[in-house]
Structure formats: structure tokens, C-alpha cells
Amino acid sequence: MVRLNTNSSVGPRLSTPSLRQTIKQSYILSSLYQELKSRIDPVYKRHPLIVYQMGKVGSETIERSLASYDLGRPMYRVHSLVEENMYLDLRASNVTPREYFKRSRHLFLGKYLAREIARDLHRGHWKVVTMVRDPVAQNISSFFQIADLLIPRFSERTQANALPISELLDVFLQNYAPDGIYVNWFDVEMKPSFDVDVFETPFPTNEGYAVYREPHVDLLLLRLEDVDRCAPAAFREFLGLDDFRVQRKNEAEYKTYHRLYKAFREQAVFPRRYVDGVYGSKYARHFYSDEELAGFRAKLNVGD
């Protein structure tokens, strides 16, 4: 998702909070506003910082942490810049586009940001932050984020303790294949959007982060598991920020499905072919050592 900085001093101004809220809640008005803003003030001229990564890998934590600094540039947060990937959740569910928009109001802004990047990629110099995470843990978190779109009466059945773990696992495996988009995200999102191939050079697992510098883009990649340890050094190198602090909030604690999520992590028995497929992927083997992958695997119940 993209967060639109409607308080920017550049571009069309919105005079009142109520007007800004009205625009944010309307797909058509938001589209018109973004179109006008992009024509008056192209994104690349403002040297934006884009927090760009797959869902449930800590993007809100990074955005919240960076928001306390005066970056001197607009900041966007987006999970997809490739249009064919933007509505995968919608296609997997039974909700209407209108209902989906209410849930993810700013998802469509990714289309406009993608268009401007494609048009102006080599005219500006982009700053991008991305993160990776244990891919099975990421898949599970992502699944529970959209479980109510995939399972009829999910909230009602969760409250009534009427959703068996076996049913949840079946739905999970139907929607999160071992070779799905999440383990291929850098090939189907980052590479076509910014022409950066993070797999060309080994990832420094001991450091927990890497900076990739190209003529048109600087990319900072961090591992979620190491973010508390490595973020201060990473953001000092990448943005010149001193005393960077991670502002973390465990949102799962406040979600209605927290107990079910915890039970799923503890009780679900994952097929060996699924676990082997995910942890044998190029993504997993590139960003994590064999020892680290064995540690992730040990946290799971693995069957035949």
C-alpha cells in the first residue's frame, strides 16, 4: 500500500482535514488528486523514499520509525508496483472490488507510482527500503491478514471457536504454494520495477543488511529478524541518520484472530513437501544460512 503525503508543501494543497479525508475515502477523488499531483509535481523530482516490500515483513515498523525524522523528502509505502500482482488477494476471495477498496483504500495508488517510476526511472535517483523475513512465518502472517476474505464467516467462527486448525491449514496450503509470489517477490516485483537483481551478489547474513547502489537507485535491504540489531548502522549508512531507533508495535496482540493465529503456529502440521519447497527456494537460500533455515524449520510441526 502507498501512503499519500497530502501535507506536502509541493503540489496541490488540500485546505482542510475533512477535505483530505473525503478524498482518501473516495476511489475516484483519490485517483483525480493523484493524477493532478503527478502532473504538477512529478514524483522523481521530490527524491522520494519508497518503503517497498511484500506484506507482513515489517513495512509499518520501518515507516513509523522513519516518520520521526525530517527526511526532507516524501515517503511512500507500497507492497506492489506490478499491476498484475496488485489484486491477487481480491482474485482469491469472494469480495467485490468496492468492498476491497474499502479495506485497502490506497492500494490503487501503487498504479500511479508504478507509472511514474516506469516513466522517470532513469531521470531521477530513487531511494528504496525493503525487507525480508523467514518465508514460512511471512506466509502465515499474510494468510491471517486476509483470512476473512478467504474463509466465509471467519470473524464469527473465530469468536465462537468454531474454526478447526485442519480447515485453516487446508485453506492456507491452497493459497500459499511453496513456489508462490512471496518466494519470488524480488523477481516479479523489485527487478521489473527498479531493474535491481539482489541475487547477483551474496547476501551478508552476518551483517543482516545490504545496500545496493545503482546509477538510478539506492536500495537498502534488511532482514526482519535482525532489524533491531542492524537498523541503526544500516540507516546511518543509507540515509545518514544518527541514533536510528526501531519503533515496533505487535499488532497481532490486538487483532481478533490473535489466539487463533497462535494456536495455528503451535498446532498446524505442515506437509514436508511444503516446508522443503519454501526453505529450498532461491529466496530462502540466498538470504539465510543453512543453520538459520534449520532453526526456522525446528519451530514448525512437519509431517509427511
CA distances to 211, 218, 221, 267, 278 from 190, rounded to whole Å, are 14, 12, 11, 34, 19
Contacts of 126 (CB under 8 A, 6+ apart): 44, 48, 50, 117, 194, 216, 217, 218
DSSP class of 255: S
Parallel/antiparallel/unpaired status of strands 209-213 and 217-223: antiparallel
**How much is the pLDDT for 36?**
72
Q: Do residues 217 and 125 lie in contact, with contact meaning Cβ atoms separated by under 8 Å?
A: yes
- Alpha helix locations (H) across 41-82? 59-66
| E strands, the chain, in order | 49-52, 75-78, 126-132, 209-213, 217-223, 269-270, 301-302
Q: What is the pLDDT along the chain (304 residues), one digit of tens a residue?
A: 333 333 333 344 455 667 777 766 676 776 677 667 666 667 878 889 999 999 899 999 999 999 989 999 999 998 999 988 887 766 666 666 666 666 665 566 688 789 889 989 999 899 999 999 999 999 999 999 889 889 999 999 999 999 999 999 999 999 999 999 999 999 999 999 999 999 999 999 999 999 999 999 999 999 999 999 999 999 999 999 999 999 876 555 557 789 999 999 999 999 999 999 999 999 999 999 999 999 999 999 999 9
Q: Do residues 190 and 52 lie in contact, with contact meaning Cβ atoms separated by under 8 Å?
A: yes
State the distance between the two ends of the chain, measured CA to CA, in whole angstroms.
Answer: 37
Angle at 161 between CA 164 and CA 251, to 5 degrees: 95
**How far, in Å, CA of 96 to CA of 190, rounded?**
28
Counting every residue written for the chain, the total comes to 304
Q: Do residues 260 and 154 lie in contact, with contact meaning Cβ atoms separated by under 8 Å?
A: no
**How far, in Å, CA of 280 to CA of 204, rounded?**
19
110: cell is 501503487
pTM: 0.85
Angle at 49 between CA 44 and CA 53, to 5 degrees: 115
Q: Give me the phi and psi of 130, to 5 degrees please.
A: -140, 160
DSSP class of 68: T
**How much is the pLDDT for 233?**
97
Q: How many Cβ atoms sit within 10 Å of the Cβ of residue 216?
A: 16
